[in-house]
Structure formats: C-alpha cells, structure tokens
Structure 1
C-alpha cells in the first residue's frame, strides 16, 4: 500500500479556506461585513510576526462561539456546496489517481477541522488530520485549540500518531507522498519518500530545487 497526504490551502485549493469561510458567512449576514477585512488583517499580523498560529486561530474561530453547533453544521453543509465549483480539476484528478491506485489518503492541514472537512468530502479524501477547535460545555467554540495546532513539526507528529493508531509508520509504505505549498511543512516533507512542492513559496521552492523534489506549478 502507498500513502498520499495532501495539504489544503494553496495546495489542493488555490485559495485560503479560512478566508473563503469568512466571506461565506459574511455574505449571509452571519458575520459582520467587515469580517473578511478583519480576517485578512489577522493573517497579515501573523505574517508580520505579531500573531502566532494560536492567536490567528483564536481570531478566526472565537466569533463563532456565539452560535450553537447545529448552526455551524448547517452552514458547513451550505459552504461545502458553495465550494464545489471552485475545486481545481487538476487536483481532483491527482487525488482520484492516488485513491484509485489504492493509496491510503489523508488531508493534513493547519486549518481547523470544521472548515477542512467539507473540502475532504468534496475531494473524497476519507481521513482528515487538522487543528482541533476547543468547545465549551454547551458545545460552542471557545477560540482555543485542543492540544497542539496541526502545524510545522506538530503536523508530522500528528501524522505519526494517526499512523501509529493503525499500527503503521511512514517507513512501512512502499511509497509515500506529501503535497504542499509551504516551507512550514518541511518536517513532514522530509518524512515521506516522494515530497512534492505545489506552487511553492520562495523558501520551499529553493529547498525543492536543492533536494531535487518534484515541483507542481498548476
């Protein structure tokens, strides 16, 4: 059996899923019309080093704590339908090729699970390894994270834990792939036999060229 792992934002999809979700809810009046601008400002603060990944998650998820889980689930279903036409055919074919070849496939993303799962369903990826959003006693989001975010070295450890629960390890597969756009994913890229840089950022492109890794532009 082979293993195929896929990052989400700017890899399987050519956009940021958190921004797509925020715009979707703002368009329905669930969030203020300024919410997309607020999200973009938080992302820029993260890039500038003024917010870490935990604070960025909090800024994205905490406003949803005003709503019950049933509402979030309903909007997630609508969001899934809205995203379906936006999936790149090339990436759909890529996932399908691995799936049809019998590979064990998983979406592995720093994105919170409730945003990632609609995309996993759309791509027909059976497993999701994602950042887990904490909930209060009523089942509402607090904005905090359960454990560590699925990010950088924690992304690799989360995959290792997921495989270990199935009595597997990356080295146990004849071939293993990980597709991503980000240098932040270097620990997991180095764990697989077939690392693939998809429309890579500057640092990942340089690393892929040095190491002779495959690069996908479109």
Structure 2
C-alpha cells in the first residue's frame, strides 16, 4: 500500500544580473560625471575625461588590471568627501541619467523571470547606493554591490566590500544559502569575462553583449549569447510608471559613482605613466 503523498515545496530560484552593459547601456557610475560637475565635485577637465572613459568602456569594457587600477584610485579619490552633498546630487539626477539607458530587452527579461516566480538580483561592482535605487527602478528584489566605509558623514577611502570577480560568486552563494535558492536552477547574465565566477555559479548562465574573452568562453561552453541594443525609458514601456511614486532612497555611499566616473580614465593614462595623477581634475570639498 502506498503511503501518504507529501507536499514537498519546490526550491526557490533567482536570476542574477550584472548591471553595466547588461541591464543598462552605459556604466552606471561614469554616467554621473555631468551631475557631479554641475554639483561642483569635479571640474570641466574631469568631465572630459569621464566622457572619454565612457567611450572606451562602451567599445571594449575594462579588464581585470584596469578594474584594479580604478579601485585603487577611487579609494584615494573619495577620502574625506561629504556624503550628504553627494546624496543630494544623486537623488536629484538618478532618474534623468539612468532611466533613459535601461535596455528594453533586459526589462522584458526581468519581467519574464518574475512571472516565472524567480527573484531578480542585481549584482554590480558599483557602489551600493547607486545600485540599490537602480534596482528599485527596474523591480529587482535584491542587490549585491560594493560598500564603502563612512565615518562621521565622510568617506574614509576604505572599501568594506568589493563586489568584483570571485567575490560576486561568493556573495551569490551566501545569498542562495540564506534565501533557499537552488543555484543549479538559477540564471545569471553578464557582459564581462571578469564575471565568469558568477556565471559558473548557476545552472543557466548567459552572456549579454559579451566582451571578446567572454564570447570565446560562452562559445566553448555552449552558453547562450544575447544581444541587447534598445535602451528605452521605463515610462515608455509602462505608461502608468510614475517616478514620483517611488519611495525616497538614501544614497549615502554613492560618491563611489563619482569616484569611478573620474577614475575610469585613469587606467588609460596609467598605461603611459609610472605613477597616476592623484586628485587631478578635482575641486576640494
């Protein structure tokens, strides 16, 4: 005789998305160059450098060595910056600079995952207070991002947690253990080979607008390759979408965005110089 049938709950699942060039068409941090110039944090020369860095990033992204140089530079750059000043600038400009560059294909994919019952998690090297409001805009359930140390309302220049490479995968595994995600049934999306550990952590990895190295890896492993090319305002996709209805979000550590905006070009100059220019192009705050 058969025993009683037990109702075994299905394991939870999630879709993990890198942010820059995967969900949005540009670098989330470099995009804030102009607002920070208008707010007096950086000067015109830094804005021009930021524009060039964005151009280079869009052409080929940033490899491991370039990312490490940016991290070292931004640690020095943000030391002593007033958090409240940066918070106010970003709060006023984030919808204007980020909303128009969200990929329509990514927004649709996020909706599909939600309809399938999966959580959506944004995993980004950008600062947490940049990533979290962007995640809220696109309907993400959780975010994993870099966190900086703040003391007495100012940045110390130290990084508490750097969401990059293997540490992204570690954070995903920790979140999966806490939330009960079955990673073998989860999805991940990224454009960069530096996110290979993140893609390897799930059962269904996808390369999105991949750099050359990731495209090669995807081909050798039989991973799907997606092409996103249609940035669109959320208001155009969802007529009822109202920016004013969104809750206010604290942007305490978002100065990291400004830091990378200026630092993004430093790796280019450092190729030709023995030492980087510390603080070049900045105004004292």
Q: So what's the TM-score if we normalise by structure 1?
A: 0.84
224, 235, 251: which one aligns with 1:214:
224
Is the counterpart of residue 141 in structure 1 residue 151 in structure 2?
no
Residue pairs, 1:181-200, within 5 angstroms: 181-200=191-210
Name which of 166, 169, 172 aligns with 1:156: 169
Indicate which of 126, 139, 146 corresponds to 1:131.
146
Runs of 4+ in 1 over 4 A off after TM superposition: 37-41, 61-67
Rg (Cα) greater in structure: 2
Structure 1: runs of 5+ lacking an equivalent = none
Larger CA deviation: 76-85 vs 177-186: 76-85
Map of 2:31 onto structure 1? 20
Contact 1:79–1:118 (Cα < 8 Å) also in 2: no
CA 1:48–1:61: 2 relative to 1, 3 Å: closer
- Residue number in structure 1 paired with 2:84: 70
Point out the more displaced range, 62-71 or 126-135.
62-71
For these two proteins, the number of residue pairs brought into alignment is 210
Matches within 5 A, 1:38-57: 38-39=49-50, 47=63, 49=65, 53=68, 55-57=69-71
Aligned-residue CA RMSD (Å): 2.5
Give the Cα–Cα distance (whole angstroms) in 1 for the partners of residues 131 and 45 of structure 2.
23
Tell me which residue corresponds to 2:19. Answer: 8
Q: Choose between structure 1 and 2 for higher RCO, CA contacts under 8 A separated by at least 6 residues.
A: 2
Change (3 A) 1:52 1:211: closer
Unaligned runs of 5+ in 2: 1-11, 229-285
Q: Which moved more, 1:181-190 or 1:66-75?
A: 66-75
Q: Which SS does the other structure have where 1:10 is aligned?
A: coil
Instruction: Give 1:80 shift.
Output: 1.9
- TM-score w.r.t. the length of structure 2 is 0.66
User: 1:108: which partner in 2?
Assistant: 123
